[in-house]
Amino acid sequence: MTTPAGLRILRAADRTAEPWKNGGGITREIAARPAESGTGDFAWRVSLAEVDADGPFSVFPGVDRTLTLAEGAGMDLTVAGEHRLVDERWAPRHFPGDRPTHCRLLDGPVVNLNVMYRRDRTDARTAVVRGEFDLTVAPDETVIVIALDGPATLDRTDARGGQPTRLAPYDALLADGPLTGLVRTTGRAALVRLRT
């Protein structure tokens, strides 16, 4: 859905479950560029991934990844032979997506916010915030805000103004700059900044 001010609201209820590239789990795409790109030709891709069994992650040549644990106890990843523990909710963890990666679940299924981007084409930064924060989107930037464990609201503070944009858990908004606003959340929200 597009708001009058040009923001895109991406509702969780509209996402379809798709198998991973290697068939080992389920992913629900939030957004990607180019739009409608597949797993082999995206510049960046943001999704929610459900992991319910130990096993290998898909390998993506030239891609870096950031995982943020949203639900569950976490995972012990082995990335090219090196252990990387992902056991703290809301803490983004960065690793190369083109190295062989194996996942061992610590205590049952998990849901991860998954940001993937081609390192030679895109720069991506992921943060998790709570409370109120000022949001500024530069003209050459795309920002995605995802409500994680509670609702979030964006109030535009620039000349475009408009009605507040409300997000339920796992809803997202996508903004191509320029834009300024104030985001309020009673829980936590992920903020993904992307430059191509």
- Give the residue carrying structure tokens 């990387």: 84
pLDDT value of position 133: 93
Taking the C-alpha atoms of residue 86 and residue 69, their distance in angstroms, rounded to an integer, is 7
pLDDT score of 168 more than 90:
yes
Rg of the Cα trace of the chain?
Answer: 16
pTM over cut 0.85:
yes
Q: What is the pLDDT of residue 1?
A: 44
Task: Place 4 in a pLDDT band, splitting at 50, 70 and 90.
Answer: very low
Portion of the chain with pLDDT greater than 70, in percent: 97
Could you tell me the residue ranges of all domains in the chain?
15-118, 123-195
For the domain made up of 123-195, give the CATH fold. Jelly Rolls (2.60.120)
6: confidence class by pLDDT, cuts 50, 70, 90 = low
What are the contacts of 154-159 at 24+ separation with CB within 8 A?
154/7, 154/181, 154/182, 154/183, 155/181, 155/182, 155/184, 156/5, 156/180, 156/181, 157/181, 157/182
| Backbone dihedral angles phi then psi of residue 12, each to the nearest 5 degrees | -60, -35
The top-level CATH class assigned to 15-118 is: mainly beta
Residue 92, pLDDT > 60, answer: yes
pLDDT digits (tens, 9 = 90+) for 94-152: 999 999 999 999 999 999 999 999 999 999 999 999 999 999 999 999 999 999 999 99
Average pLDDT over residues 55-68: 95
**Same fold for the domain at 15-118 and the one at 123-195?**
yes
Task: Identify the DSSP state of 195.
Answer: E
Residues β-bridged to residue 131:
185
- pLDDT at 39 exceeding the cut of 90: no
Per-residue pLDDT, averaged over 54-79, amounts to: 96
Q: Are 3 and 9 in contact (CB under 8 A)?
A: yes
